[in-house]
Structure 1
Amino acid sequence: MTKVNKLPTTKLWNPKSFIIFSVFFSFLPAGIMCALNYGRSGSQKKKWIFLLTSILVFIALIALLPILSINTSIIFFSINIALGIILMFAQLKLYNDHIQNGGKSASYLFPIIIGLLIFSLSAASILYSIYVPKNALDYGENHLFYTNKITESQAKKLGDYLNSEGYFTPSSKVDVKIDKQDTLYILSLVVEGDYKSDTSYVEPMKAISKEISKNVFENNKVRIDLCNDRFKVLNSINVD
């Protein structure tokens, strides 16, 4: 009986695409494709090693970048490129042998979907870290967030003032944020309702701004930003 040579039915992703995915979606989709390639080739141990390592490194990178005093976009891009290249070279021989044995390339629909999902989640995480600082002081159910441009003592002085003036109460659940640009202090207040067409709140907010400037920030100007619950600015109130 004549022996029949069967062509491999398993399809692998071309590792040269890992760099492209790393540029546009981060190295995580490339790491997932690399891991699945190993799994489809019969190496389950390498599959789980590459999959778990890619996920853990990605989580660590997202967690560390916001606290580093560097240009995060440049370093994030550089790390993605470097890891994409490493993943590519790790699988070039595997893929070339696969093609030489009659194998075919896998469709990119699945990794593109994964890449878009990861990109969306990463963007949401970065935006959240931009608008909501990690530093916070609690006054019951009320929270005062402050950026790295504000010292803890300055934040506490503001929080104590808001508490003493009745802005924070035992029954309220209020979130505020304080930031600084040069000598300008920016107080962000979480609000609800139509604060663009209704202007009746402008004068009271200007009065609050002047009081905080005088009693907390040594007469430096204070701008009040009205924001949504993620501190994205809806309207700004400047004091002349």
Structure 2
Amino acid sequence: MLVNFWGPEKTISYIGCAVQLYVFLWLGATECVLLVVMALDRYVAVCHPLKYTTIMHPKLCLQLAIFAWGTGLIQSLIQSPATFQLPFCSHQTVDDIVCEVPALIQVSSADTIYVEIRMFVASIILLVVPLIIILASYGAVAKAVLRIKSTAGQKKAFGTCTSHLLVVSLFYGTVTAVYLQPKSRYAHEQGKFLTLFYTVVTPTLNPLIYTLRNKEVKGALKRLGRRAWDIQNN
């Protein structure tokens, strides 16, 4: 996708499109599950701090990571073959920046109702249900934080959650708009921008969002800013 952005030719082979879709769905579904795992991690850290090391032990963390990647792979192996069973003989232009299910549904000449139903069900399982779990976790976190008497303790607890909440807002706010209404022409036109956002912008911002709470990273950014300012003034 990034190669096509920078190169003069905006083409991709059929095999390349298939591989891109498989990987795209795998990573996207894995991200959905990982965000839920991270929300549960923060719930345990804030609501049960004394039991955190007992509950979130390395073996459980490994199991949760395997579950997330495994769920993403299963989703990709189910959704991708069903999408590529659609006929695309009379269409050679994918009106999107990446080969994903809504874009391929738009260019198919056949009845896509079954693929849409399958994708809608997958979206409910991997988008709506995880979002409900995340919101419920943060509801419990908010109650626990409000019970903390010290302001410093509240700030520390909220600081543990802000970066994850920001990533959840950026990711779910865009991907749900694309995958819950794939056949709508207006949704598709708007969805190209949203696809760019959750495939490029959000992953690019993730390292910055998660590391800004790190004192060493903050110090490095401040030094870099001062150095750039000094160079400009000189």
Which structure is higher in strand share? 1
Question: Normalized against structure 2, the TM-score is what?
Answer: 0.26
Higher relative contact order (CA 8 A, sep 6+): 2
Q: State the structure with more CA Rg.
A: 1
As a proportion of its length, which structure holds more helix?
2
